[in-house]
Chains A and B, each alone.
Chain A
Amino acid sequence: KQEVTQIPAALSVPEGENLVLNCSFTDSAIYNLQWFRQDPGKGLTSLLLIQSSQREQTSGRLNASLDKSSGRSTLYIAASQPGDSATYLCAALSGNTPLVFGKGTRLSVIA
């Protein structure tokens, strides 16, 4: 059974800092891994999708990497801004099961 863990649960950084969010999963036989952003009380916004055959994906200031052998993915955010403050969730898709989500990392970027 796939389990996804995100550490830390919360993170506070000053504006302009580069940061890394971590995601680990127990079953390395994944089809893809997806990173989402959630603002308070809102739905999930898809940020990046990494297929199992890929090592990384980039979108603007965001870069996500995937290491299936170690069961890890990281989301790198460059030059953080207050507008990046949100909860970031990762989710793994494997087998015939639906997306399995981590509990998220709540990010605060302080101006």
Chain B
Amino acid sequence: AQSVTQLDSHVSVSEGTPVLLRCNYSSSYSPSLFWYVQHPNKGLQLLLKYTSAATLVKGINGFEAEFKKSETSFHLTKPSAHMSDAAEYFCVVSPLSGYSTLTFGKGTMLLVSP
């Protein structure tokens, strides 16, 4: 069985300040972990993925995430928020191999104020 828990339903930051979106996972096997982003009226877009290579993963638009097995965490960070980062972010877990049955978290809405 696999699951993800996104610890915050909403996160508010000011433009130019750091972003931290928290995600804990549970998996009975070695997982793949992902972050997807959903802008209003847009399709979900892959932001970054971890598949057992480097534990620090860099994604698009300056985002990165670190896989910490001891803490079962995969938190998403960005050093400096931009207004265009305002969106909903989903932490996702999948088996390392096999077909892509993704298990999504409930999402974290990121609000960015000027």
Tell me if chain B binds chain A. Answer: no
